[in-house]
Amino acid sequence: MSPPRPSTSISRFAHGRARAGLLLSLCLLAAALAGGGWWWTTQRSSDGATTGPQASQSGRGGRGGRFAGAATQPVSVGEVRRESLRVRVSAIGSMSARATAVVRARVSGELTALHFKEGDEVKAGALLAQIDPRSYEAALGQVQGTLARDEALLANARMDLARYRELQQQNSIAGQQVDTQAAQVRQLEGTVAAGRAARDAARLQLSYTRITAPIAGRLGLRQADRGNVITPGDANGIVSITQTRPIDAVFSVPESLLPQITPRMAAGVPLPVELWDREMRRRLATGRVSALDNTIDTATGSIRIKAAFANEDGALFPNQFVNVVLQLDTLAGVLTVPSTAVQNGHVYVVQPDGSVAYTTVRTGVKDGERVSVEGELPVGAQVVTDGLDRLRDGAKVMVIAPPAPQGASASAPVAQARRFDPSTLPPELREKLAKMSPEERRAFIAARRAKAAASRPAEAGPAPASTPASAVRP
């Protein structure tokens, strides 16, 4: 009797498990090979970066990261100075005319002439327009005729009163008749006084047909044309005048600044004010604080200030938006550095050996591109202003475009050489720049700056070359 044969389902199950195990082994082998290749490539790159001829000494770890500062880094620097620094506060304001007047007619009539040009500067009392005066001239003539008649009656009554008084002294006339004549004289005197007032009023009405400027200033656009019948009730009037020389700026500052403002105003010390355009690129005017409001806005916790400006060139207009910079004080002899040199409360100071030292500072007042600091910084030292994110304590640096000597401003060619605008590059270079890593991009820009500085005209002075920090400071 033959042994029993295994079932077909069991054989198929065993065959499937064997094939699945083979596939799993192949997948694990492929993953191991791929991981080993990646590890070998990474290790080789790491060895090349740390043992190559361009690598710097490892040194002690710093704040720039594991690989930050491994090579000599191109940087820009600024100078540590001891100088006076202005304490200033910025605000947003608007211009306000010193005075505004709408020129309206005081009497009704047809506008027969306009004697001004829109936008002109006029003086107070200048003739601007003329209303048809004929009806007012006729009214004045009528009043003058009535007044002349009343004055004649008064003169005759006074002469009669004088004769009656002579006759009374001779007992030739009754006293009652004298009293009646005296009353008649007083009545006519009142009539004449009223007539003279009516004459003056008619003259005034006639003078109102000549419309003159009530204040000096700049004219706006005319609101009425010749031939129109105008009245004193016209809302828009004929034209408006704004006094803009001088002109005022109104702005608000926090109430916390009042202890710094009110003592100086009480002592008569001027508070300088500068006006800048919307983009803070161009200074428009300089003036001084002229008035302080008497209440604080409870909604914003601020107080309004008015500053006066001569505006001799007429460049400032009412309701114009301005950026205001108010100078509160001046700090003398403070230690300052470029504001771009401070990052998270520290600066990198360039050392004589071409390395940088991580130095902690405490910042104070900022004025433009300079900021006051407190810390162990020697006057005249150089601090890194560009490229701080790739530095660490002790890293080697190469200074690009050394700063101009203290007190001397850089010439226009030098300033032009320091600027770099990627939009000026050819299309192929712009595309190449876009594909670079941040480190490659910085090195490329530094090289372009050095090349531009070296190609400037000879009269601009020696070209700022890429100089190691050890060569900048002996």
Collapsed DSSP state (helix, strand, coil) of residue 173: coil
| Spatial distance between the Cα atoms of 166 and 456, rounded to a whole number of angstroms | 114
pLDDT score for 312: 93
Decide if 100 contacts 425 (C-beta within 8 A): no
pLDDT score for 72: 82
Please check whether residues 427 and 461 belong to one and the same domain: yes
CATH at 351: 2.40.420.20
Please check whether residues 363 and 463 belong to one and the same domain: yes
| Spatial distance between the Cα atoms of 378 and 357, rounded to a whole number of angstroms | 13
Please check whether residues 261 and 299 belong to one and the same domain: yes
Q: Which amino acid is at 440?
A: E
Q: Angle of helix 175-207 relative to helix 134-169, nearest 10 degrees? A: 160
In degrees to the nearest 10, what's the CA dihedral of 201, 203, 204, 208? 140
428: CB partners within 8 A, 6+ apart: none
Please check whether residues 322 and 359 belong to one and the same domain: no
Burial of 128 (C-beta count, 10 Å sphere; 0-12/13-18/19+): buried
pLDDT in tens, 242-276: 999 999 999 999 999 999 999 999 999 999 999 99
Max mean pLDDT range (119-128, 395-404, 431-440): 119-128
CATH at 261: 2.40.30.170
Count the alpha carbons within 13 Å of 288 in the hemisphere toward its beta carbon: 7
Please check whether residues 320 and 368 belong to one and the same domain: no
Please check whether residues 301 and 246 belong to one and the same domain: yes
Please check whether residues 93 and 200 belong to one and the same domain: no
Q: Which amino acid is at 262?
A: T
Please check whether residues 368 and 290 belong to one and the same domain: no
Task: Name residue 314's beta-bridge partners.
Answer: none
| Spatial distance between the Cα atoms of 312 and 405, rounded to a whole number of angstroms | 37
Q: Scanning the structure block, which residue is given the tokens 């031939």?
A: 227
Give the rounded distance of the alpha carbon of 264 from its chain centre.
24
The answer to whether residue 61 sits within a structural domain is no
Domain termination residue (choose one: 208, 227, 262): 208
Among the residue ranges 84-98, 286-300, 431-445, the one predicted with the least confidence is 431-445
| Spatial distance between the Cα atoms of 354 and 468, rounded to a whole number of angstroms | 6
Please check whether residues 346 and 455 belong to one and the same domain: yes
pLDDT score for 243: 95
The answer to whether residue 7 sits within a structural domain is no
The answer to whether residue 390 sits within a structural domain is yes
Among the residue ranges 66-75, 318-327, 382-391, 463-472, the one predicted with the least confidence is 463-472
Q: Which amino acid is at 131?
A: I
| pLDDT at residue 155 is higher than 70 | yes
Domain termination residue (choose one: 331, 363, 392): 331
Please check whether residues 403 and 445 belong to one and the same domain: yes
Percent of the chain residues topping a pLDDT of 90: 58
Decide if 370 contacts 338 (C-beta within 8 A): yes
pLDDT in tens, 85-131: 999 999 999 999 999 999 999 999 999 999 999 999 999 999 999 99
User: In terms of residue numbers, what domain contains 386?
Assistant: 73-80+342-472
| Tally of structural domains, the chain | 3
Buried b (16+ CB within 10 A) or exposed e, 288-298: ebbeeeeeeee
The answer to whether residue 368 sits within a structural domain is yes
pLDDT score for 446: 73
Neighbours of 192 (CB within 10 A): 20
Decide if 301 contacts 252 (C-beta within 8 A): no
| Spatial distance between the Cα atoms of 448 and 441, rounded to a whole number of angstroms | 11
The answer to whether residue 23 sits within a structural domain is no
Decide if 68 contacts 395 (C-beta within 8 A): yes
Burial of 151 (C-beta count, 10 Å sphere; 0-12/13-18/19+): middle
The answer to whether residue 42 sits within a structural domain is no
The answer to whether residue 196 sits within a structural domain is yes
Please check whether residues 93 and 152 belong to one and the same domain: no
Please check whether residues 391 and 443 belong to one and the same domain: yes
Q: Which helix (H) or strand (E) holds 31?
A: helix 8-51
In Å, what is the CA distance from 105 to each residue of 110, 131, 145, 337? Answer: 10, 9, 28, 63
Domain termination residue (choose one: 267, 300, 331): 331
The answer to whether residue 62 sits within a structural domain is no
Q: Residue by residue, what is the 3-state secondary structure of 345-407?
A: CEEEEECCCCEEEEEECEEEEEECCEEEEECCCCCCCEEEEECHHHCCCCCEEEECCCCCCCC
pLDDT score for 96: 96
CATH at 200: 1.10.287
